[in-house]
Amino acid sequence: MSHLQKLKISTIGTYLLYVKKRPSFKVNSKLNYWYDHGIGKGGNVIDFAILYHNCTVGEFLQELKTLFLFTRLLRHQQK
């Protein structure tokens, strides 16, 4: 299951980027692409994370690296 398929499942009935009465957030799981008609933006999972967390690509990748290293450390300690 792709990241966007997981996102699609977790976003049913919710509004991730703003409040609106009718959902306009669509996910194409075959292309791993999302598009929000309400704000006219779309992209891949990285684009979504940058928009959702209001950060730059560099900031997001640094957070991702930190999370990866932390997860790796935890797995190593559990062995």
Structure tokens at 72: 């790796």
More confident residue, 9 or 77: 77
Distance, CA of 31 to CA of 59 (rounded, Å): 25
The SS3 assignment for 65 reads helix
Question: What pLDDT digit, counting tens, does each position of 42-78 carry?
Answer: 999 899 989 888 899 999 999 889 988 888 888 888 8
Is the four-CA dihedral 67, 72, 76, 79 of positive or negative sign?
positive
- What are the residue boundaries of the structural domains of the chain, listed by start? 3-78
pLDDT of residue 56: 94
**Residues 18-30 pLDDT 10s:** 555 666 788 888 8
